[in-house]
């Protein structure tokens, strides 16, 4: 599946127009859907018509015996009652979610097993809207991993935080006057810091972050939709 995702990541740069739409308008490319309905579990991939051949080729190249069919758009609200829950990560997107190779079980298998325990009369849908990130995100993640290795804050300045963006006076002062002497001094001190010792668990998380920084990356928005007649 890793190779399938690597092939799907190329959708971002298939043309100058698509690169522009992705960078300026944040155009989403793919939707992964795990649907449990009437006791049957289905895996669907939604995309634009112009990407259909690319998606089919990416799957067929890795799963030669797979049966790829075009189906109608799934209906998520077929029951009387329903609930929608958006899953949000607590940490900054720069942090890597634990890699599958560091987990004893495939997390997708655990989710599917849980969905299989739902009553056949109910439905559950997991939607993952994903968009390929460009190389700039990988470079920022590499810089962030290097800073964490040195036990520094994730970013060299605090201007990325929402709190400072909501303080126009500080923001305008930074734009017109440039960085303060204190900020420049802190930057010079940070440049002098070498690698530091840390516990293995912490080091492993930094290694995973650095490893993922070299791989194609997707931005995902995950939603859970459950519905029932009871």
Within the chain, what is the greatest distance between any pair of CA atoms?
A: 65
**Angle 135-149/200-212 helices, nearest 10 degrees?**
160
Helix-strand-coil percent breakdown of the chain, rounded to 5?
A: 45, 20, 35
- pLDDT for res 105: 66
- In the chain the beta strands, taken as DSSP E runs, fall at 30-37, 40-47, 81-87, 123-132, 218-228
Q: Is the dihedral of CA 11, 12, 13, 17 positive or negative?
A: positive
Over residues 44-53, the pLDDT tens digits come to 898 888 888 8
Over residues 134-168, the pLDDT tens digits come to 788 888 888 888 888 887 777 766 544 445 555 66
The mean of the pLDDT values for the chain is 77
């Amino acid at each position: 599946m890793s190779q399938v995702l690597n092939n799907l990541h190329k959708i971002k740069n298939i043309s100058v127009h698509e690169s522009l739409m992705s960078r300026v308008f944040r155009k989403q490319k793919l939707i992964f859907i795990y649907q449990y309905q009437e006791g049957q579990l289905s895996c669907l991939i939604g995309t634009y018509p112009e990407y259909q051949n690319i998606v089919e080729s990416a799957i067929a190249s890795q799963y030669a015996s797979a049966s790829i069919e075009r189906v109608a758009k799934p209906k998520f609200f077929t029951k009387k009652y329903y609930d929608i829950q958006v899953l949000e990560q607590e940490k900054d997107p720069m942090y890597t979610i634990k890699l599958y190779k560091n987990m004893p079980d495939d997390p997708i298998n655990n989710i599917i097993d849980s969905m299989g325990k739902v009553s056949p009369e109910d439905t559950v849908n997991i939607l993952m809207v994903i968009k390929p990130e460009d190389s700039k995100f990988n470079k920022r993640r590499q810089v962030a991993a290097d800073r964490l290795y040195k036990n520094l804050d994730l970013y060299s300045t605090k201007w990325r935080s929402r709190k400072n963006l909501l303080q126009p006076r500080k923001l305008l002062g930074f734009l017109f006057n440039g960085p303060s002497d204190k900020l420049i001094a802190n930057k010079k001190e940070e440049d002098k810091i070498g690698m530091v010792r840390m516990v293995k668990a912490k080091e492993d998380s930094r290694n995973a972050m650095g490893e993922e920084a070299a791989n194609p990356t997707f931005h995902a928005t995950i939603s859970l939709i459950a519905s029932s007649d009871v």
